Amino acid sequence: MIDDPIVREIHEVRERLWKECGGDLDSYLARLKAAESQHEGRLVTVEDLEKRSRAASESSPTAGTKG
């Protein structure tokens, strides 16, 4: 497995948050929800991804053609 420092950091932060919540899933999820509400403009939803995908396919030079 590749040792990616960014992935490693994500796992370390997740583990720290989990310990701070005492290993309680409800507390952990509440903490994540609170963080989401503070950064709503930075969240990406499934709808956002679908819009981006549609826009990209519509602007593609080969959109609507069969090859």
41: containing domain: 5-59
35 is a domain residue: yes
Distance CA 11, CA 50 (A): 28
Q: Domain total for the chain?
A: 1
Whether 44 maps to a domain, the answer reads yes
DSSP string, 25-53: HHHHHHHHHHHHHHTGGG---HHHHHHHH
In a domain, 15, yes or no: yes
The pLDDT-based confidence of 55 (bands split at 50, 70, 90) is: very high
Give the pLDDT confidence score for residue 60 in this predicted structure.
Answer: 75
pLDDT level of residue 18 (50, 70, 90 thresholds): very high
What is the arithmetic mean of pLDDT over 20-33? 96
Q: Is residue 37 a part of any domain in this protein? A: yes
Q: Would residue 66 count as lying in a domain?
A: no
Whether the model clears a pTM of 0.75, i.e. scores above it, the answer is: no
Within a domain: residue 21? yes
Instruction: Please report the pLDDT score of residue 10 as a whole number.
Output: 95
Mean of the per-residue pLDDT values of the chain = 89
Q: pLDDT of 35-47, one tens digit each? A: 999 998 888 989 9
